[in-house]
Amino acid sequence: MLSDRLFLEQQARACGFSSIRIATAEIPPDAERYEAWLEAGYHGDMGYLENTSELRLDARKFLAGARSVVVLGMDYGQPSPPDPGGLTGKVACYAWGRDYHNLILQRLRRLRKSLEEAWPGLRARGSVDLLPVYERAWAKAAGLGWIGKNCCAILPSEGSTFFIATLMLDRELPADGPMADHCGRCRRCLDACPTGAFLGPGSLDARRCISYLTIEHHGAIPLELRPQMGRWLFGCDVCQEVCPHVRLGKKKLEEDFFPRHAFLPLGAILEASDAALLDCFEGSPIRRACPERLRRNACVVLGNIGDRRAVPLLEQAARSASPLVQEHAIWALERCL
């Protein structure tokens, strides 16, 4: 007869999760730091983080009677395909393939069902960054890595290229403890950040982060940050790429994560209709940026590339019906002429 812990691990691995740890469903130790981060306004336009902070910081409010938080990891890291160069923009690795939410939520439902069948009366609730759960805090509490200076959960010799999911249970399971910090004196991620988004080790001003600027931020990108964005069209991997713990290609990945959109043609982004862009990125995390913001980002990348071949594209974008796209196209034109 398998113990509860061994049975859980067996079922989780059968569902494709590569890492499994458990935390006690208490308010995580990072709660005060998180609230101070919100109070300082470092979350920018992400008002949903503030509006749901109470739920994020107490598993028992997310699932009444919660006693354990199962924290699960699923790898997505892989070497980059060849860079085509030219008038193309870069996409963060996690968004190369299909939308991870769909796959992981399916696996969570399968895991929950197997546990409910084995443990009659069990109440459980799963999440993968769509619901108000502070996944990173639970990963730290359960020892699914430590929180690095780049604010990512990191596993020794594996890195941070894994998705985090949680499954709250109203059943008490043996809890794991936090993992020791292995960053040491290394500060490669802090020094490499193109926009200087880190306030210090483990502290990020999202308003300067390229991932935030290209995905979550709805307005104009600050002038002083645009040149630092380089060719990043959607997201950014710099602070993970320089981390000495990251080891890509070590594990077999889900086919859903194989690269479909690692590099994108910027001309096609600017010339396609909203409907065409939404169709192109059906089932992709890239849809989160919406067509208008993708065009805004494409203009910035073209301005950073500075190739005169982009002038006709930018001139057309400067006549866009969107004032947001117009502004960024005019800025980019000045850099290409």
Q: How many Cα neighbours within 13 Å face the side chain of 227? A: 6
What sign does the CA torsion over 318, 310, 313, 231 have?
A: negative
129 is catalytic: yes
Q: Bridge-partner residues for 21, per DSSP?
A: 71
Catalytic residue among 4, 58, 129, 256: 129
Instruction: Kindly write down the DSSP assignment for every residue of 114-144, as one continuous string.
Output: HHHHHSTT--EEEESSSSS--HHHHHHHHTS
C-alpha distances in Å from residue 290, one per residue of 116, 211, 245 = 38, 14, 33
Task: Say whether 58 sits in a helix, a strand or coil.
Answer: coil
Tokens of 44: 């920018």
Phi-psi region for residue 151, left (φ > 0), alpha (ψ -120 to 50) or beta?
Answer: left
- Rounded CA-CA distance 37/33 in Å is 6
Tokens of 177: 């403890």
Catalytic residue ranges: 129
